[in-house]
Amino acid sequence: MIGLQKGTVQVVAYTSEWPGLFEHERYVLYQCLGNLLLDIQHVGSTAVPGLAAKPIIDIAATVASLAVIPQCRQPLCSLGYIDRGDAGKDGGYLFVKELTPNVRTHHLHVVTKDDPQWSNYLEFRDLLRSDTALRTTYAALKQSLQTLFAHDRKAYTAAKEDFVRGVLGKVNGMKSTTR
């Protein structure tokens, strides 16, 4: 089951249904948007087997340029997505899908292929998938923050930011020293 009241935080146990829900949505997005999207990836905690997560499917999609995004609006709205606007470095251009009013099921982050957010989404997801200790530490952080920020999703997300940046900073630092 997916869906979470807007603005609230609830971290639930991983379910093996999440990848299938993403794959269905990926298919629908490609059918609707054709060649406007260069790539669509399942990101966020629901994309990491075994990791507890907010029950919202996070999707990152790339476009060739920001000029493509206006062409995506009408088709996405016809699929039930709500245009939430440009969140800039805090998530790209955001569209959300709801089960019922204010119960979010999908977050679609649209960025350009050269936007650092694209590689960050994929790198952080892949690190969590491959590193059990990192996944365990992140799960504990999310559980503790859920208690503190049960009714303030923005604060919850902001409180995770240092951890995410620290992990990505270590990886990017290692890449630059091995080149």
User: Regarding beta strands 81-86 and 93-100, do their DSSP bridges make them parallel or antiparallel, or are they unpaired?
Assistant: antiparallel
Q: How many domains does the chain have?
A: 1
Taking the C-alpha atoms of residue 128 and residue 32, their distance in angstroms, rounded to an integer, is: 31
Q: Do the Cβ atoms of 18 and 69 come closer than 8 Å?
A: no
Per residue of the chain (179 residues), what is the pLDDT tens digit? 899 999 999 999 999 999 999 999 999 999 999 899 999 999 999 999 999 999 999 999 999 999 999 999 999 999 999 999 998 887 889 999 999 999 999 999 999 999 999 999 999 999 999 999 999 999 999 999 999 999 999 999 999 999 999 999 887 765 544 33
Strand, helix or coil at 22? helix
What pLDDT is stored for residue 21 in this prediction?
98
Q: Which domain holds residue 112?
A: 4-178
Task: Look up the CATH number of the domain holding residue 49.
Answer: 3.30.460.10
In degrees and rounded to multiples of 5, residue 155 shows phi and psi of -65, -40
State residue 174's pLDDT score.
55
Looking at residue 87, what is its pLDDT?
A: 83
Residue 91 φ/ψ region, left for φ over 0, alpha for ψ in the -120 to 50 degree band, beta for the rest: left
Structure tokens at 104: 């979010």
Burial of 103 (0-12, 13-18, 19+ CB in 10 A): middle
- Residue 178's pLDDT is 39
Q: What is the pLDDT of residue 6?
A: 94
